[in-house]
A and B are shown apart, each in its own frame.
Chain A
Amino acid sequence: MKSQVPESQHHVSGLLPEYVNRKLDPLITDQVNEHLLHCEACQAELSAWEAIGEATQFATASEPLPSLNILDQVWAKIEVPAQARQISRWPIRHALIHLWLVLNRQVRIIHKSIWIASTLVGLFCCCLALFFSTQSSNRVHDATSLLTLFTAVVAASGVAFMYGSDKDPGFEITLSTPTSIRIVMLCRMALVIGYNFVLPAIASVIIALAHGGGLWEVIQLWLGPMLLLSSISISLTLMAGAAFALAISLIIEALQAIPITLEKGLLVLQLARPDMWQSSPYVIVLAVLLFGFAVFYAPRQPRLSN
């Protein structure tokens, strides 16, 4: 769109910036030229605009250029929303894949000693179960009590040493990833407790087969204590450290599993009856609450420890 042709008796001030830019159409340009021939005021104003135009170009010529990697960053910005759209199309599938990847990586990160100790104790439990299965039915209680004792202690020890800056060489890297610390914590707990479940479960199968009765009846004797002691252990680890948590867990387990009685002036240690410390709803609910606390509290733990 072109400016209106100026009337000859008027000054052409309003047209001069476009005149400097050569944006006026030829007819108007001719009329401005003609006006400028005899108008000193407009000539001065034209000189002023030309000076301003030169100064503008000169001032901006020294401005720095953008970085060389601008386009790379542009492609990154374009591609991230595309990935996000893909994720939003299959949110559950992507969440499950993400969870599986995190779970898979934690197997390598968790300290090997946890797996070794769990394996050795699990095998020991299986051997004990096999040994007691050849004995009288009264010995089954001893077998299940020992199973409860070892399973709970090993699981509690495992969770106590599975997480934290002093026990995990990759802890700083874990903190720097976008994956939630709570997800990491949840995956590690699932792995350690799950692994500590498998071998005692095999021992329970042996006991159940050897002496009859349901498998669940044997499993429930040690599952509840194992979960509760593990949940106490991880909660205390986050708040007071792994050594303290392990000590407290051992004391609790000892008080439950190895009661001390006084008979005829002598201290007598004995294995507790399994029904004193088993998978009651209260034990399970308490364990779940403590696990929930640990997962909730996990992101705050590094800051407190620092």
Chain B
Amino acid sequence: MSMHAQPAVDDRQVVGRIAAGDREALAELYQRYQRTLFSYLQQLTPDYGLAEELLQDTLVAVWKSAHRFEGRSSVQTWLIGIARRQAHNTLRQRKLPLIDEAELDGLASTDPEPEDFTLAYVAREELVGAFQQLAPVHREILVLTFLHELSYQETASILDVPVGTVKSRLSNARRMLRALLDAREEMKR
């Protein structure tokens, strides 16, 4: 289930009201998407205070750029895209670690991988623990796909990468999860 279930047309009307300078509309949009945005930003930085600051910057940017929203993407995609830009700009300015976009995104496998047979049978707590150990780039792709339920195309437009890269990042994230679970298993022995 998506984190928010408001109709998209309604969202666009709210953005239109923001563009017209309606403060209550910004508050309304924030109420709808605060969890979506904050959850996403928390994947990009472990610092709660910085995540809040980025959330504020995102809303300021929404206020300033609402008149440029043309409705070509969903409001959720537009908002997450703005949040990502704000995060990257701030992290770059403060020389904090960025999501490594230079990572080798390799080709996504089109065949099932043997280790995935066991991934489904791992206890959820262990899988959650492994998720939390993932690199931001992998947590980000999983959150966009499975929490915000975005399509490959929407994710690609947010990350500003080809759809193939989205697929390969997903594949890599799954592989990293498997590796982390294996490492945990080794430590238990």
Give residues in A with beta carbon < 8 Å to B: 1, 3, 10-11, 13-14, 17-18, 20-23, 41-42, 44-45, 47-60, 63-67, 70-71, 73-75, 77-78
Interface SS of chain A = helix
Mark each residue of chain B from 134 to 150: 1 if its CB lies under 8 Å from any CB of chain A, else 0.
00000000110111011
Closest B residue to A51 using CB positions = B120
Our pick among A18, A23, A73 for the contact of B56 (Cβ within 8 Å) is A73
Contact in complex: A56, B56 (CB < 8 Å): no
- Among A14, A47, A70: residue with most chain B CB under 10 A: A14
Contact in complex: A20, B146 (CB < 8 Å): yes
Our pick among A10, A50, A56, A63 for the contact of B142 (Cβ within 8 Å) is A56
Q: How many A-B residue contacts, CB cutoff 8 Å?
A: 128
Contacts of B147 in A (CB 8 A): 56-57, 60
A28 CB to closest chain B CB (Å) equals: 12
In the bound complex, how far is the Cα of B173 from the Cα of A44, in angstroms?
17
For the complex, is B152 an interface residue (Cβ under 8 Å from A)?
A: yes
Known A-B contacts A51-B119, A51-B120; A63 and B131 likewise in contact (beta carbons under 8 Å): no
In the bound complex, how far is the Cα of B118 from the Cα of A51, in angstroms?
11
Contact in complex: A11, B110 (CB < 8 Å): yes
Contact in complex: B120, A44 (CB < 8 Å): yes
Give residues in B with beta carbon < 8 Å to A: 23, 26-27, 30, 34-35, 38-39, 42-43, 48, 51-52, 55-57, 59-60, 63-64, 108-113, 116-117, 119-120, 122, 124, 127-128, 130-132, 142-143, 145-147, 149-153, 163, 167, 170, 173-174, 177
Contact in complex: B59, A70 (CB < 8 Å): yes
Contact in complex: B142, A52 (CB < 8 Å): yes
Closest B residue to A64 using CB positions = B48
Contacts of B39 in A (CB 8 A): 60, 63
Known A-B contacts A17-B170, A52-B146, A55-B131; A1 and B108 likewise in contact (beta carbons under 8 Å): no
Closest B residue to A45 using CB positions = B112
Our pick among B112, B124, B174 for the contact of A58 (Cβ within 8 Å) is B124
Contacts of A54 in B (CB 8 A): 124, 127
A19 CB to closest chain B CB (Å) equals: 11
Q: List 8 A-B contacts (CB under 8 A).
A: A52-B142, A56-B145, A60-B42, A65-B35, A66-B51, A74-B56, A77-B60, A78-B64
Contact in complex: A13, B111 (CB < 8 Å): yes
Our pick among B38, B122, B127, B153 for the contact of A66 (Cβ within 8 Å) is B38
Contact in complex: B116, A71 (CB < 8 Å): no
Contact in complex: B146, A21 (CB < 8 Å): yes
Contacts of B128 in A (CB 8 A): 55, 58-59
In the bound complex, how far is the Cα of B53 from the Cα of A285, in angstroms?
51
Contacts of A63 in B (CB 8 A): 38-39, 42
B36 CB to closest chain A CB (Å) equals: 10
